[in-house]
Amino acid sequence: MKPPTDSPSTPPLPQSDLGRRVAHRREELGLTWADVAQRAGCVPGYIEYVEQRSAVPDIGFLLRLSDALETSVAELTGGLANIPPGHGQAVRNPQFIELDHAECRALLSAYGIGRLAVSTPDGPEILPLNYCVDDEDIAFRTAPDSAAASADGHDAAFEMDHIDDVMSEGWSVLMVGTAHAVTAPHAVRRLNELAHSAPWAGGDDRALWITLTPRRITGRRIAAEPGQSS
């Protein structure tokens, strides 16, 4: 089947690395071309075409694609690449919504980048890292002598969030628990199979798996009141 062509009536968006961003986001969510196509209402071949040919679909399909990938058009097209976090203006009287345990777990399971807060001999550190979900735990790979590895046997906190500066909305999930190094060969093999990608920081020495077993998970969502803009 020949892939759909861009809509001739829609002005092309600025050139971007759309294909790479779509592929990265799809892999981050652990989805196949068929999964994304079903969500976006198209054939799997077109998702492959967008990723490999860096096609620029019309805005209607981009909206469906961003929704399928649980992100925004701006993020897929690189429109936020040079905008610092928190650049948007906060709205007046925002809605503050507490997330229940199931919502927190769903958000943790859908994304793969977060921040680990640990205590080190030099003081507290916050470390960005990618992770996978293993039942109730989260797990990440690191180097044995890294700051993240120092969490082994101690309490640590893990946070992830998503901020939409344009809409002045966002959410965050916080997990607090005890971290442990994984040494059993069968457990290491299982985590290697669960991992969607290599450690974000790279390097061949990042083979130590650390799991964080939650003692408390909390979350919140901030949204604008209906009809309110930033």
Outline where the chain has alpha helix (H). 18-29, 33-40, 44-53, 59-68, 73-76, 101-110, 185-194
- CATH architecture label of 95-223: Roll (2.30)
CA 54 to chain centre: 21
- Positions of CATH 2.30.110.10 in the chain: 95-223
Residues contacting residue 59 through CB under 8 Å, at least 6 positions apart: 10, 13, 73
Is the pTM higher than 0.75? The answer reads no
Please state, in angstroms and rounded to a whole number, the distance separating the CA atoms of residues 141 and 144: 9
Phi, psi for residue 42 in degrees, rounded to 5: -145, 180
CATH number of 18-76: 1.10.260.40
Q: Is the pLDDT of residue 7 over 50?
A: no
- pLDDT per residue as tens digits for the range 129-144: 889 888 899 999 999 9
3-state secondary structure 150-202: HHECCEEEEEEEEEECCCCEEEEEEEEEEEEEECCHHHHHHHHHHCCCCCCCC
Mean pLDDT score of the chain: 80
Q: Which residue has the higher pLDDT, 2 or 31?
A: 31
C-alpha distances out from residue 183 to 70, 106, 157, 207, Å: 35, 28, 21, 11
